[in-house]
Chain A
């Protein structure tokens, strides 16, 4: 006990962080440790609990379904992140140029962010309904559609990406607007006096100063979209066929419908490694930019 105290610093500091350490140990160290162990077994929630070595991992890597689920997840995350970043950042640049108070505008645009994923999913089911939905009616006015949206393999993934864009673009917008507002005024004013165009000012002065923040937002959106669950679970449930099955819905099904806990945990471990690698790569990109600057 005393050595533990010394290791943590002063005794009083130990008591300050103890509750946090206990809760983190219980809610994350234990499940990750136990989950890692389970990934090497054939556990079925019940009595079947045998060590199977790397079998779960080997089976997964040889399983076409696993790879198609991985591909769906990455396709979803990459498209949703790219569109949200582009749209949210562009909107922030436009709002930043408005000559009026923008508090109310920001509050209204933030609204989707307050809505829970499952509610967003159900709202979209009402709007995307192939027969009675308002969206098919609206695009019909422009001579488009009708589309089956969630009902067809070709359009289901694009529909879910659209829903995530509606839901989360405001996050990018809020952060980037705060970033734009915090930029120093002098370089921009100086460039304006020199006669630089708005585009030149944005591209050569503002963007380099916002680069690090932008990559942080990309990292947050990338992690968040890779972990997507609610809006898939609430709309297509992974279908039609496997067209929109993503890692977390796949794991939920594997664990709770098929009782293959070993396989589910092996999937989670591989997927967590993927998330780690992607965030580390993006962070390396961020750091390289800072060194160069």
Chain B
């Protein structure tokens, strides 16, 4: 610390300039990240005539007409609701399955543990359509096609490996001496997991749930392959605006903003968790 103070005292002009550059570059990147979202938001608040003005208008009379129109758009409302349900089922399922698995991997003797690990990595990295196309016929045959549960189940192929990675790294941080003590008191593995491990890693659980929710909410390829109308997700609802994009920017941009909002709330509420989850995922992966 003293060395740093001494150096800052001798901070030359070169140092100051490069620090100024660091601020300028960061500022430019913030602008780069925000501008498209800002611009699309303004387009969604423009009347049809203002939206198609050339050159594009920076100042205009905002209107909520596009959002009101979307509110009366039955299909879009329906897909939004579907996504809420599918995300909830998918996240619940992933945690329910990943929690005992992660515990077993970290604290119990399992043979073939490495094989499970390899399979999890493979499932995580292989392309979606490798799984979706063969499932299409099985899903139609079993009646899982175009259902909320069916889609949430298929999403496990991606979120389960990620959850197990994350949760096992959180579980590893717990001192195994605690298990030993509990075991001497006569606690079973299940009791140790539910009474000690789960309560101790709630922030980690939240991080995992948030990352899974974001992934499921935003997913397109699997939903495209395994749903048709009843369980269509919000990403597919938005895709339906793609065709007449040139004609109806208002509805398309309003739908985009509405689909972003839940994720934005997540990002604000759980920034630290998301960063922790992403970093751990990368380090362990």
Contact = CB atoms under 8 A, between A and B. Distances in A.
A61 interface: no
Interface string B190-228: 100000000000000000000000100111110011000
A86 to B, nearest CB: 13
A28 B157 contact: yes
Contact of A248 (B56, B164, B221, B252): B221
A54 interface: no
Nearest to A230: B220
Interface string A118-142: 1101111111010111100100000
A239 B136 CA distance: 26
A19 B116 CA distance: 13
Contacts of B36: 112, 123-124, 127, 166
B130 A35 contact: yes
A172 to B, nearest CB: 10
Interface of B: 3-4, 7, 15, 18-19, 21-23, 25-26, 29-30, 32-34, 36-37, 39-40, 43, 52-56, 96-98, 100-101, 103-105, 108-112, 116, 119-120, 122-123, 125-138, 153-154, 156-157, 160, 164, 188-190, 214, 217-221, 224-225, 235, 238-239, 241-242, 245-246, 249, 252-253, 256, 259-260, 263-264, 266-268, 271, 274-275, 278-279, 282-283, 285
Interface of A: 7-10, 12-13, 15-17, 19-21, 23-24, 26-32, 34-35, 38, 45, 90-91, 94-95, 97-99, 103, 105-112, 114-119, 121-127, 129, 131-134, 137, 166, 170-171, 174-175, 178, 189, 192-193, 198, 213, 216-217, 219-220, 223, 226-227, 229-230, 233-234, 247-248, 251-252, 255-256, 261, 264-265, 268-269, 271-272, 275-276, 279
21 contacts: A10-B109, A16-B108, A17-B105, A20-B98, A23-B160, A30-B134, A35-B130, A35-B134, A90-B25, A91-B29, A109-B30, A110-B267, A123-B37, A124-B36, A126-B245, A127-B39, A132-B54, A132-B56, A174-B275, A233-B224, A248-B221
